[in-house]
Amino acid sequence: MPVGTAGAMKGISHGELLSLGADILLCNTYHLHLHPGEDIIAEAGGLHQFIDWDKPILTDSGGFQIFSLSNLRSIDDERVIFRSHIDGSEHVLTPERAVEIQHKLGSDIILCLDHCPPSTASRSEVLEATDRSLKWAKRCKREHGRILSQSKRGGDDHSPLLFCVIQGGLERDLREKCSQEMIAMGFDGYAIGGLAVGESQEEMYGVLDALCPLLPADRPRYLMGVGVIEQLRACVAKGIDMFDCVLPMRLARHSKVLLSDGTSLDIDKAMYRTDFQPIDADSPSALSRTHSRAYLHHLMKTKERYGETIACMQNLGVTLQAMRSIRESVES
Amino acid sequence: MPVGTAGAMKGISHGELLSLGADILLCNTYHLHLHPGEDIIAEAGGLHQFIDWDKPILTDSGGFQIFSLSNLRSIDDERVIFRSHIDGSEHVLTPERAVEIQHKLGSDIILCLDHCPPSTASRSEVLEATDRSLKWAKRCKREHGRILSQSKRGGDDHSPLLFCVIQGGLERDLREKCSQEMIAMGFDGYAIGGLAVGESQEEMYGVLDALCPLLPADRPRYLMGVGVIEQLRACVAKGIDMFDCVLPMRLARHSKVLLSDGTSLDIDKAMYRTDFQPIDADSPSALSRTHSRAYLHHLMKTKERYGETIACMQNLGVTLQAMRSIRESVES
């Protein structure tokens, strides 16, 4: 899932995004809540209408940004209080509110509010965050059911799905306990949070090896924050279905260009000054089939925004293509 | 002419630019000379090939940026020495070199090096700059002829055109003298420089009223740096054929949105927070027909790059559409 933080990709139009084969967009509840606010989006007819995107939208709960981006004021089992990273204004979020906001946004896949501890957290901190995530998931499920039963969307084919988020850090017993209790509550899908936050690849794979066999086979599993193509392959093999990541865009901003053959270019290196071959002759992005490496090198060196657009399209295109090829392998 | 400074528009792809009906692109010799340099562009097969743009390209001489952007070290009738605004490196430009660089770029319309005095210049400074521009134009014409006679492009239908630049500030007698001497030398087209640099609209119109009747009717006249739509209309009526301007993009960056009915919006104003009508239902830009004012307001307030893209497309599209409508009026 490409990440369209506040309802837009960085420098890529929706049309360009569709041309790369994107068929779902992730938007950040935290950002949309701060601006323009869920009420304005509801008034517009929902997020699909507001941003003019008619494919599915998944929204996160806002929790991750509260813990990583905002000025956290206080947290307990009842609620979290934080200050906006934009204007310092104070906001209160409860599990119920997180679900209500996402319903107002008109999201297709709603995520439960969770407490994501940092990778450096102690076992007791991870334990507390895991217990809290379980309590919050229960309240989210109840609130989701309440809203669905009141809403005209309830029961029809367009009812939004609710995913829980499994926490537990690198503590396998906590991951297992969290999974079992989440499964007992029953969700439409199971997100795995608290990974790809600084731990080693081996540690991440270890958690997935312990976790995936426990998850129901007929519900999607979504590993949050992973975008390295080799990791996508490995994690699908372990049983993961969905991913989101800003990595393709972050790499593009740092002049790293992923190629469709699996290699990559540091396009700001002097060796590309006179490399007039296409950026990637087999690219899923038309811009990379026609524009040369020398031109992209020039645009990145002169900080022309078009360079970032070309590189974002390329990296996102190659990542989406890799997922398509993985899906085809799974099918065959 | 949209301005693609270093061979790219700000945040607009070539395809999007073509969709707005652009049929010529202006590129800045100063920027391209500093990076990647004309030799690399020549090695790529010229600027059209390098940036993948197969419609005409006009390049300015670099003079305007030397006087406005760089750290000017010294100037005399022989040459100008300046330091790059990027890395402080020292560069020497002569009229011959300016023409040679533009030939290497493979430009379709080449401009003579001129000396553009600031709007605050005294009469004696304007006189000196005008005399120098005349001397430089003569040398440019000689060098252009020399290169054409040596080159395989010489004499065929694809030979680049050479435009002179008429200076003279607001001094009508100097403008007239400059025009007469330029016409006596004979150029493919006549650019008018040193206007739209801070003088009043009345002063600018006064110069054009004096100047335009003197210029040959069968050669294009190009007023440099004008982009206000009402001024385009007035100046075509006075006899101008071509314009270039970064104004549509600059307005877009400042949240000013031009509409196809001639009005405009300050899209960052709070009144647009819940204005769900299309940005401009009759826009030449498809993005403005589908996206709402509320969405653009949100994108500009959250500094999402897609907002600037939408606004740039809108302002450039409306400006190009205005020129098309002026051309149709002239024809009918």
pLDDT over threshold 80, residue B257? yes
Cα B41–Cα B47–Cα B51 angle in degrees, nearest 5: 100
Q: State how far the Cα of B286 lies from the Cα of A113, in Å rounded to an integer.
A: 38
Band (A145; pLDDT cuts 50, 70, 90): very high
Token digits for B269?
């104003």
What pLDDT is recorded for position A21?
94
- Write out the DSSP string of A62-118: SHHHHHHTSEEEEE-SS-EEEE-TTT--EEEE-HHHHHHHHHHHT-SEEE-------
Quote the percentage of chain A above a pLDDT of 70.
Answer: 98
Tally of CB atoms within 10 A around A180:
10
Nearest C-alpha in A relative to B87: A302
Give the type of residue at B138: K
CB-CB neighbors (< 8 A) of B252 in chain A: none
pLDDT by residue (tens digit) across B109-148? 999 999 999 888 999 999 999 999 999 999 999 999 999 9
Ranking A156-165, A205-214, B214-223 by mean pLDDT, the lowest is A156-165
Tell me the ipTM for this assembly: 0.94
A36 to B309: CB separation less than 8 angstroms, yes or no: no
Residue A68: φ, ψ to 5°: -105, -25
Is pLDDT at B155 greater than 60 in this prediction? no
pLDDT over 60 (residue B154): no
Q: Report the alpha-carbon distance of residue B246 to residue A199 in Å, rounded.
A: 48
- From the candidates B108, B114, B244, B280, give the one annotated as an active-site residue: B244
Looking at per-residue pLDDT, the higher value among B106 and B68 belongs to B106
Question: What was the pLDDT predicted at A153?
Answer: 54
Which residues, other chains included, contact A114 with Cβ-Cβ below 8 Å and sequence gap of 6+? A61, A63, A133, A136, A137, A164, A165, A167, A193
pLDDT at position B157, please?
60
A9, A295, A309: residue with CB nearest B13:
A309
Mean pLDDT of chain B: 95
| Cβ contact B296:B313 at 8 Å | no
Contact B284, B263 (CB under 8 A): no
The 10s digit of each residue's pLDDT in B13-49 is 899 999 999 999 999 999 999 999 999 999 999 999 9
Q: Dig out the tokens for B248 from the structure.
A: 């549509």
CA distances from B115 to B75, B129, B197 (A): 9, 5, 13
For residue A8, name the pLDDT band (cuts at 50, 70, 90): very high
Cβ neighbours, 10 Å, residue A154: 13
Active site residues of A: 60, 244
Phi, psi dihedrals of residue A150, rounded to the nearest 5°? -90, -25
Most A CBs within 10 A among B5, B9, B13, B52, hence the mutation to make, goes to B13
Alpha helices in chain A (DSSP H): 14-19, 29-34, 38-43, 47-51, 63-68, 95-105, 123-150, 172-185, 201-211, 229-238, 247-253, 286-290, 293-301, 305-331
Contact B285, B314 (CB under 8 A): yes
Mutate to test the interface with B, among A285, A304, A308, A309 (most CBs of B within 10 A): A304
Q: How far apart are CA A167 and CA A195, in angstroms?
A: 9
List, in order of start, the domains of chain B with CATH numbers. Answer: 14-245 (3.20.20.105), 253-316 (no CATH)
At residue A69, the pLDDT reads 80
Residues A320, A331: Cα–Cα separation, whole Å: 17
Nearest CB among B8, B10, B40 relative to A273 is that of B40
DSSP character at residue A243: E
**pLDDT score recorded for residue A158:** 74
Q: Please write the tens of the pLDDT for every residue from B282-326.
A: 999 999 999 999 999 999 999 999 999 999 999 999 999 999 999
pLDDT at B91 over 60: yes
Burial of A230-256, coded b for 16+ CB within 10 Å and e otherwise, reads ebbebbbebbbebbbbebbbebbbebb
Q: Do B9 and A306 touch (CB under 8 A)?
A: yes
How large is the average pLDDT for residues A264-279?
98
Q: Residue B148: its pLDDT value, please?
A: 95
Active-site residue, selected from the candidate residues B23, B60, B108, B282: B60
Query: In Å, how far from its chain's centre is CA A74?
Result: 25
B209 in catalytic set: no
The angle formed by the CA atoms of residues B87, B89 and B93, to the nearest 5 degrees, is 130
d(CA A120, CA B4): 48
pLDDT at position A82 is 93
Q: Kindly identify which residue of chain B lies nearest to residue A310, measuring between CA atoms.
A: B13
> Is the pLDDT score of A155 beyond 80?
no
Is the pLDDT reported for residue A305 higher than 60? yes
For residue A152, is pLDDT > 70? no
| Residue of chain B with shortest Cα separation from A34 | B302
Indicate if the pLDDT at residue A63 is higher than 90: no
The lowest-confidence range among A72-81, B45-54, B63-72 is B63-72
The yes-or-no verdict on residue B153 having pLDDT over 60 is no
Compute the nearest-CA separation of A30 from chain B (Å): 13
pLDDT bucket at A86, cuts 50 / 70 / 90: confident
Q: Which two tokens stand for residue B100?
A: 């040679």
Name which of A28-32, A235-239, B86-90, B184-188 the model is least confident about. Answer: B86-90
Say which DSSP state B191 is in.
E
CA–CA distance, B170 with B245 (Å, rounded to integer): 21
